[in-house]
Amino acid sequence: DTGVSQNPRHKITKRGQNVTFRCDPISEHNRLYWYRQTLGQGPEFLTYFQNEAQLEKSRLLSDRFSAERPKGSFSTLEIQRTEQGDSAMYLCASSLRRVGINEKLFFGSGTQLSVL
């Protein structure tokens, strides 16, 4: 168990470019979450997967954001036509959801995105 892994750690891009982030969850975890966090704020929910199914997406998320989790393993988050307001820390978290087990979220180290 190596924890939740995210790549890259930092991404600097120009406005209008597309970026893609990757998350590898803890291997036995069936739920995977993407959050976004800016300075002085708590994490903001973006989207969530149970295995390979994307079951919920924040209404705050524009059409420029898309996420996938093929085969229920790693996940990618893509932002198209980036804007300066997209600059934030993008956090991935995973958890094990089973009957009788209290779910706990474990976060990766995050990807810090800067849009110039």
Partner 1 sequence: QKEVEQNSGPLSVPEGAIASLNCTYSDRVSQSFFWYRQYSGKSPELIMSIYSNGDKEDGRFTAQLNKASQYVSLLIRDSQPSDSATYLCAVKDAGNNRKLIWGLGTSLAVNP
Q: Which residues bind partner 1 (CB under 8 A)?
A: 31, 33, 40-43, 45, 48, 55-56, 89, 91, 102-110, 112
How far apart, in Å, do the first and last CA atoms of the chain sit? 36
Residue type, 75: S
Q: Which is nearer to partner 1, 27 or 39 (CB)?
A: 39
Question: Could you identify the residue written with the tokens 């990757």?
Answer: 22
Q: Which is nearer to partner 1, 19 or 89 (CB)?
A: 89
CA distance 115 to 22: 18
- What is the smallest separation between the CB atom of 99 and partner 1, expressed in angstroms? 12
CA distance 88 to 44: 11
Q: Which is nearer to partner 1, 17 or 60 (CB)?
A: 60
| CA distances (Å), origin 18, targets 11, 23, 82 | 11, 17, 6
- What is the smallest separation between the CB atom of 52 and partner 1, expressed in angstroms? 16
Q: Which is nearer to partner 1, 61 or 105 (CB)?
A: 105
- What is the smallest separation between the CB atom of 14 and partner 1, expressed in angstroms? 23
- What is the smallest separation between the CB atom of 50 and partner 1, expressed in angstroms? 8
The neighbouring-strand residues paired with 21 are 77
